[in-house]
């Protein structure tokens, strides 16, 4: 029997059961369809779509990506086809796959988020919503939704009302003084799970030209460079809330996955690593199955208990 057939990698994220704890992260896996010829989508725990907005968005000027030591900067500017085109053009094709499609939702006002969810509520084939709250609230002078517990309550509360049919995940911004406070605000108004976390605002310049290496001047840092910082945020969030956490930041190896699970995540997402190897999420799920099989443990809970028992 193959390891994949012998072990049970399923994890429960609130009401949603995932085949395994590995999902591809928003913005790094398109609408899933672009990867379907390279990756067996049916072997992933799921994937999170590119951020979806009320109207289509053209995105930021080039260059949009640049490599940095142990990481990458991006300023894509949330380019997307808009939620209606997603429902009409992408979702019907995605329904052919047996994988959890998590729709990443963003906006610049509370009503934007609620409207995107309302459009998705009428469509089949979405497993859950993930709110990206690292966006500026234009009605509050451009302050990030995710930076203030009051604004988090407002936007998550409105999304909760709109999302009658499906689980609601909230993807936290890492740029906060006390992530526990923000996490509790989201949990308090009905979030089903938290994704921790988004990218870190950052910059790269060429000193010779004194120009930024990104068209948008600043961008978001991702990749292995951020893993220790985000790992701490997951740990802090775990202490603050009871709902499931999905860890996200710099996952490349099975060890990275286990590190996130060890500090309290129930699943992980994989972003930047897909740029080097688009099959990495599928390979991580296979690697995890092999690890469990070799350790003679057959479920995700058992492996966690085993590590805890071995290390007191």
If one asks whether residue 198 binds ligand FMN (CB under 6 A), the answer comes out as yes
Residue partners of 221: CB distance under 8 A and separation at least 6: 68, 71, 72, 73, 199, 200, 201, 202
SS3 137: strand
If one asks whether residue 87 binds ligand FMN (CB under 6 A), the answer comes out as no
**Contacting residue, 137, 144, 212, 272, with ligand FMN by CB under 6 A:** 272
If one asks whether residue 20 binds ligand FMN (CB under 6 A), the answer comes out as no
The nearest distance, CB 74 to ligand FMN, in angstroms, is: 4
CA-wise closest residue to 192 among 218, 149, 159, 228: 159
Binding mask 115-144 for ligand FMN (x = CB under 6 A): -----------------x------------
DSSP 8-state code for residue 171: E
* Active site residues per annotation: 135
If one asks whether residue 248 binds ligand FMN (CB under 6 A), the answer comes out as yes
**Contacting residue, 21, 27, 157, 264, with ligand FMN by CB under 6 A:** 27
Identity of the residue, 162 or 170, whose beta carbon is nearer to ligand FMN in the bound complex: 170
User: Residue 66: how many CB atoms within 10 A of its CB?
Assistant: 15
Residue spans of alpha helices (H) in the chain: 3-6, 83-85, 91-94, 110-121, 149-162, 179-188, 227-240, 254-262, 273-276, 280-294, 300-310
If one asks whether residue 237 binds ligand FMN (CB under 6 A), the answer comes out as no
What is d(CA 85, CA 106) in angstroms, rounded to the nearest whole number?
Answer: 15
Residues that bind ligand FMN (CB under 6 A): 25-28, 50-51, 72, 74, 76, 78, 104, 132, 171, 198-199, 222-223, 226, 248-251, 270-273
């Amino acid at each position: 029997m193959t390891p994949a057939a012998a072990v049970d990698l399923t994890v429960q994220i609130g009401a949603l059961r995932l085949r395994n704890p590995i999902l591809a992260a928003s913005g790094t896996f398109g609408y899933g369809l672009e990867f379907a010829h390279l990756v067996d989508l049916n072997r992933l725990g799921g994937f999170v779509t590119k951020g979806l907005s009320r109207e289509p968005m053209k995105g930021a000027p080039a260059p949009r990506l640049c490599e940095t030591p142990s990481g990458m900067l991006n300023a894509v500017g949330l380019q997307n086809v808009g939620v209606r085109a997603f429902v009409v053009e992408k979702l019907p094709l995605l329904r052919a796959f047996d994988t959890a499609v998590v729709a990443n939702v963003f906006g610049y006002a509370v009503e934007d988020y609620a409207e995107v969810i309302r459009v998705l509520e009428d469509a089949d084939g979405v497993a859950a919503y993930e709110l990206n709250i690292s966006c500026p609230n234009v009605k509050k002078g451009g302050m990030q939704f995710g930076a203030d517990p009051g604004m988090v309550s407002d936007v998550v509360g409105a999304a909760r009302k709109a999302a009658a049919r499906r689980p609601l995940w909230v993807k936290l911004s890492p740029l906060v003084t006390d992530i526990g406070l923000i996490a509790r605000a989201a949990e308090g108004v009905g979030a089903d799970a938290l994704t921790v976390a988004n990218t870190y605002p950052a910059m790269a310049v060429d000193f010779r030209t004194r120009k930024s290496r990104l068209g948008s001047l600043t961008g978001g840092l991702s990749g292995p460079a951020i893993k220790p910082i985000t790992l701490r945020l997951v740990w802090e969030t775990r202490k603050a809330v009871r709902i499931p956490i999905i860890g996200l930041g710099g996952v490349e190896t099975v060890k990275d996955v286990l590190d996130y699970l060890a500090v309290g995540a129930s699943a992980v997402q994989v972003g930047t690593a897909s740029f080097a190897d688009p099959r990495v999420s599928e390979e991580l799920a296979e690697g995890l199955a092999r690890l469990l099989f070799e350790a003679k443990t057959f479920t995700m809970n058992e492996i966690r208990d085993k590590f805890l028992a071995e290390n007191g």
